[in-house]
Amino acid sequence: LIQSWKKYINHLNTFTKKREIMPIQYLKKSPKTSSTDDTKTREIVENILKDIEKNKEEGCIELTKKFDKYEGDIIVSKERIEEIKKKLDQKTKDDVQFSHERVRKFAEAQLKNYGQDFEVELSKGLYAGQKLIPINTAGCYVPAGRYAHIASAVMSVTTAKVAGVKNIIVCSSPKPGVGVHPTIVYTADLCGADLILNLGGVQAIAAMTNGLFGSAPADILVGPGNQFVAEAKRILFGKVGIDLFAGPTEIAIIADQYADAEIVAVDLVGQAEHGYNSPAWLFTTSKDLAEKVMKRVPELIAELPELPRTNAEAAWKDYGEVILCDTDEEAASISDEYAPEHLEVQTKNLEWFHKRLKNYGSLFVGEETTVAYGDKCSGTNHILPTKGAGRYTGGLFVGKFIKTLSFQRMTKESTELVGAAAARLSRYEGMEAHARTGDVRLRKYGFSN
């Protein structure tokens, strides 16, 4: 703790010195910010979303009549698409294709060069590329309520450090008379934390976001937490980046008749102890295995110490599910529908499932591995998507701390095509000021539009 306090003082002095040598003068200061209207907007949007959740398609139709004064078909038919293709003038179609070709080429170059800097010539004299730049400050939240999550410090701080983040802040709930759990302090320091704060809960999230206690404001917040921490991150998202919208931890196991029922049951209980609302799901093609697991899980829970027993009992009672499937494909489909945070596969046909499965946070292939290995020390990150978010994102990785920033540069000659197309496209859209930024360059460089 003394060492952490010294680091904090040094960090504060450095931060103060930087502020002293970087004076700025506003020649024009905006009276408003991009967040000025957020509260009013949020209230309107929340009401609209509630209406649609209640009234479904009919709600969408009524709102479209109200706001857009449109009462036609919602789905654009194939016939309508073909009609537009025939009627739209060729010059407009050529300009749209011009834009499409360059965006497609750049996207293809990004895919080919994923995870690295590059530059490519999209057409004569038009160069575009990307640079990967680590964010400056990361705020890492390490839970220490029911359990001291030492591994969460490893997962977040280490990954940020490897990504090249210059300033890493760690917050964790303090215990009376002790402060942050000593092992969490040791772990955070070992992994590269620059500042460790005795703060937990919503106040920790707010402190890191707003740059309190001498730290720079965090550019991103990462790490698991309870529902209050998760909600604070959700509310502040936009002002600060976040890793993901996390819910209670989840486990799903796909198992067939060849799986070891004891191992399956133990692994389900292993995650259910996280909390009263931690889902544990079994997708199996074997009724015999399902019955053995359902009998064994309550017995295993009863053998646990009081706190994990209480959590696991409630989790299995209220959130546990066992789903009997006819085929491997059916098991894979239901798993992809659930998109579990942790997914174990204990079947004979491991390779097929590995290739087939698409939605999960982290996959554990075969009975030899288990979620706890990934949670603690095997190497993959345990900060993972929950509540079905595995359908659209993965978990924490170095890329979360690195901005992929695009750039472009052009020769004057390339403006003849690009400037003219941009000006015309802008006018198609009704954006005259956009169009004139192309016009002014075309005139300066001696081209006609």
Q: Is 341 a catalytic residue?
A: yes
**Options 273, 341, 344, 416, the catalytic residue:** 341
Q: Which of 274, 342, 344, 382 is catalytic?
A: 342
In DSSP terms, which residues pair with 344 in a beta bridge? 253, 364
Supply the residues annotated as catalytic. Answer: 341-342
